[in-house]
């Protein structure tokens, strides 16, 4: 039977037999009739010396003409050296990929990134990041497939915030977009990070305002002596005296509890929940700090907090209270702030040649990484303890040098 004698009726009238059989239309194109009554269009061909069979559908869902048209398309592909079966799979896979890319919008990927990267952060920080996404980015690019977004699209979304004069926020959003796109690239959703250098196209937010800090050794000595003479409440007095030695963040010091202090080991373990990076942090305590804590325990050791408020034993002193104490000692806002003790320590410890990695770990500046953090604790603890002891001795030398000069001046007068 050839293509001229094979008609729709031929396929329609074909009856099943005990074994499968073929009704050929020529050129390897035929109808396969199965014992169960199935009628399947097939096309046998050879490519690169190998015989293959392509499925063209089943009758009557696929008519003779439709099957014949498919066979013609397949023959054209074979003539170009393209395997029609492989091409069919490729086209199907491409369709699936295209559908996935269309569904993988910036919002979908951003929420996926958020779920993987932000769940370990504080609820407050999570809320802050999610609000920025939902209020400043999703309304403009959230519904766009991330694979189709270009640098100009991201920049257009940021320009809306920039136009309001919120330059700092625009730069924060640029950083956020960059993080999401970097994740998308690593996850294989996009080939390139189109937001990698996007902040370069934004209006400069101006020179960063650094927190006020004293780094001149002579003036540090003056500050320490002033703190020693502070006449305020016990909690504030000891918090100010301890802070220069330990240079932790204000909230980490103010909210410290006696349960966190191990006087025998001379260590202070700040739990992860109270740390900015959400990783437990160890502060080796120099002998000077242990002495101050021993004195303080006489006053506040009956409660849970090291530095309870003078108005409520269940609440710690406030950041404003510490700051006001500095102001009462005569240090203005452009001269020194509570966070400045960290800057002071960082600057002078680096100048004195301590390893930057050790300083950064003690400042708890390192990014969260469970394996690296555990390694650093074990590997650097002895070095950190030596550094903290040396730092305490150095502060005492600055305090005492100025005091000795004052005594000498009084004696000479």
Residue 164 annotated as catalytic: no
- Could you say which of 76, 117, 302, 375 is catalytic? 375
Give yes or no: 327 in active site: no
Phi then psi for 35, rounded to 5 degrees? Answer: -60, -25
Question: Is 365 known to be catalytic?
Answer: yes
Q: Which residue is catalytic, options 342, 384, 385, 399?
A: 342
Buried b (16+ CB within 10 A) or exposed e, 375-399: ebeeebeebbbebbbebbebbeebb
Number of neighbouring beta carbons within 10 Å of residue 215: 14
Q: Which residue in the list 70, 249, 254, 385 is annotated as catalytic?
A: 249
Given the residues 17, 46, 117, 365, the one annotated as active site: 365
Tell me if 178 sits within 8 A of 193, measured CB to CB: yes
Annotate the chain with three-state secondary structure.
Answer: CCCCCCCHHHHHHCCCCCCCEEEEEECCEEEEECCCCCEEEEEEEEECCEEEEEEEEECCCCCHHHHHHHHHHHHHHHHCCCCHHHHHHHHHHHHHHHHHHHHCEHHHHHHHHHHHHCCCCCHHHHHHHHHHHHHHHHHHHCCCEHHHCCHHHHHHHHHHHHHCCCHHHHHHHHHHHHHHHHHHHHCCCCCCCCCCCHHHHCCCCCCCCCCCCCCCHHHHHHHHHHHHCCCCCHHHHHHHHHHHHHCCCHHHHHCCEHHHEECCCCEEEECHHHCCCCCCEEEECCHHHHHHHHHHHHHHCCCCECCEECCEEEEECCHHHHHHHHHHCCCCCCCCCCCHHHHHHHHHHHHCCCCHHHHHHHCCCCCCCHHHHHHHHHHHHHHHHHHHHHHHHHHHHHHHHHHHHHHHHHHHC
How many residues are recorded in the chain?
A: 413
Query: Is 298 among the catalytic positions?
Result: no
Q: Write down the catalytic residue from 111, 182, 205, 339.
A: 339
Per annotation, catalytic residue among 276, 278, 297, 377: 276
Strand order in the sheet with 50-58: 21-26, 29-33, 39-47, 50-58
The catalytic residues are 249, 276, 339, 342, 365, 375
């Amino acid at each position: 039977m050839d293509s001229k004698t094979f008609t729709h009726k031929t396929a329609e009238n074909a009856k099943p037999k005990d074994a499968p059989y073929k009704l050929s239309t020529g050129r390897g194109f035929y109808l396969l009739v199965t014992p169960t009554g199935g009628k399947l269009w097939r096309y046998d061909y050879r490519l690169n010396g190998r015989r293959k069979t392509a499925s063209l559908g089943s009758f009557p869902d696929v008519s003779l003409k439709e099957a014949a048209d498919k066979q013609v398309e397949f023959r054209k592909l074979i003539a170009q050296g393209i395997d029609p079966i492989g091409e069919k799979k490729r086209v199907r896979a491409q369709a699936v990929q295209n559908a996935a890319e269309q569904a993988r919008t910036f919002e979908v990927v951003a929420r996926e990134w958020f779920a993987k990267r932000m769940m370990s952060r504080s609820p407050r920080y999570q809320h802050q990041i999610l609000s920025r996404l939902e209020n400043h980015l999703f309304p403009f690019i959230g519904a766009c497939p991330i694979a189709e977004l270009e640098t100009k699209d991201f920049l257009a979304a940021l320009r809306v915030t920039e136009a309001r004069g919120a330059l700092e926020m625009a730069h924060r959003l640029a950083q956020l977009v960059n993080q999401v796109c970097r994740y998308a690239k690593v996850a294989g959703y996009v080939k390139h990070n189109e937001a990698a250098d996007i902040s370069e196209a934004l209006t400069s937010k101006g020179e960063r305002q650094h927190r006020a800090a004293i780094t001149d050794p002579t003036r540090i000595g003056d500050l320490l002596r002033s703190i020693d003479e502070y006449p305020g409440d016990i909690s504030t007095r000891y918090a100010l005296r301890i802070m220069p030695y330990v240079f932790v963040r204000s909230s980490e010091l103010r909210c410290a509890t006696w349960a966190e202090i191990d006087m025998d080991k001379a260590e202070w373990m700040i739990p992860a929940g109270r740390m900015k990076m959400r990783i437990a942090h160890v502060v080796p305590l120099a002998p000077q700090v242990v002495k101050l804590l021993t004195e303080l325990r006489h006053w506040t050791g009956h409660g849970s907090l090291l530095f309870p408020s003078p108005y409520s034993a269940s609440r710690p002193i406030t950041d404003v209270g510490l700051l006001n104490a500095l102001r009462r000692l005569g240090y203005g806002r452009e001269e020194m702030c509570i966070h400045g003790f960290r800057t002071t320590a960082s600057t002078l410890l680096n100048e004195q040649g301590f390893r930057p990695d050790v300083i950064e770990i003690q400042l708890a500046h390192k990014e969260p990484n469970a394996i690296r953090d555990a390694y650093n604790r074990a590997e650097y603890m002895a070095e950190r303890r030596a550094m903290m002891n040396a730092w305490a001795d150095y502060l005492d030398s600055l305090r005492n040098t100025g005091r000795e000069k004052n005594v000498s001046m009084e004696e000479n007068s």
